[in-house]
């Protein structure tokens, strides 16, 4: 699907380099600020924008069942090869519509919905369109975990400056309550050196 998906600009062309860079990133390092919101008991998790599958693999190793959604073919195929697991289902789908995921979610909802380094690829209209769809994936009592990127945009990428306030408003309109907001530096040194920071948001 990757060639025509809004927000994936730059990822197809740089896929080989990104696969090598991202496969070395630690799930624990990336998600330490929100790890206590990942359930201890085996749960159903959807990872939207799964990239090379590092997070999906770590969650599966914890005993969770993961639906890993990634629209860039090269990244999804590499993830499937790197992280063979019967607990992970790989799916070609994308925001803002999530048409394939939503068709599945008529039969199934999730304990955790994760959007890591994804939301900034959507423009304002797409974010408004996406949030109700994302919220609808959560079961009662489920948790939405998001990260928002702040800082310079890499060459060739499509990114927007997304504020926590706007994201909190969109989520609250869908009945989601903010339970954590935290600003953190990037775990990647090159990004950190260029001034990239992240806001971590958790909603219930």
pLDDT, tens only, 110-124 = 999 999 999 999 999
Q: Are 123 and 160 in contact (CB under 8 A)?
A: yes
Cis preceding-peptide flag for 96 (omega within 30 of 0): yes
pLDDT score of 156: 82
pTM of the entire predicted model: 0.90
CA distance 82 to 176: 34
Residue 107 reports pLDDT greater than 70: yes
**158: domain CATH number?**
3.40.50.150
Among candidates 168, 108, 112, which has minimal Cα distance to 143? 112
- Rounded to whole angstroms, the Cα distance separating 199 from 183 reads 4
**What's residue 3's pLDDT?**
47
> 130: domain range?
2-203
Q: State residue 31 phi and psi, 5-degree precision.
A: -115, 10
For 8: left if phi > 0, alpha if psi spans -120 to 50, otherwise beta; the answer is alpha
Q: Is the pLDDT of residue 1 over 60?
A: no
Distance CA 202, CA 24 (A): 25
Torsion from C-alpha of 30, 190, 151, 57, nearest 10 degrees: -30
| SS3 at position 181 | strand
Confidence check: pLDDT of 40 > 50: yes
Q: Is pLDDT above 80 for 125?
A: yes
**Count of domains for the chain:** 1
In this predicted model, what pLDDT tens digit does every residue of 141-191 receive, in sequence order? 999 999 999 999 988 889 999 999 999 999 999 999 999 999 998 886 767
Average pLDDT value for the chain = 90
């Amino acid at each position: 699907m990757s060639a025509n998906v809004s927000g994936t600009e730059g990822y197809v062309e740089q896929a080989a380099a990104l696969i090598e860079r991202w496969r070395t990133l630690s799930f624990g390092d990336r998600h330490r600020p929100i790890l206590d919101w990942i359930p201890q008991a085996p749960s159903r998790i959807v990872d939207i924008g799964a990239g090379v599958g590092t997070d999906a693999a770590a969650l599966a190793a914890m005993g969770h069942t993961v639906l890993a959604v990634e629209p860039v073919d090269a990244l999804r195929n590499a993830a499937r090869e790197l992280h063979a697991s019967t607990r992970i289902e790989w799916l070609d789908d994308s925001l803002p519509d999530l048409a394939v995921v939503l068709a599945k979610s008529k039969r199934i909802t999730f304990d955790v919905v994760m959007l890591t380094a994804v939301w900034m690829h959507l423009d304002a209209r797409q974010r408004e369109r996406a949030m109700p769809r994302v919220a609808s994936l959560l079961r009662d009592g489920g948790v939405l975990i998001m990260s928002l990127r702040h800082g310079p945009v890499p060459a060739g990428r499509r990114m927007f400056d997304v504020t926590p306030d706007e994201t909190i408003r969109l989520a609250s309109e869908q009945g989601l309550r903010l339970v954590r907001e935290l600003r953190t530096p990037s775990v990647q040194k090159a990004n950190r050196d260029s001034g990239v920071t992240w806001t971590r948001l958790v909603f219930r």
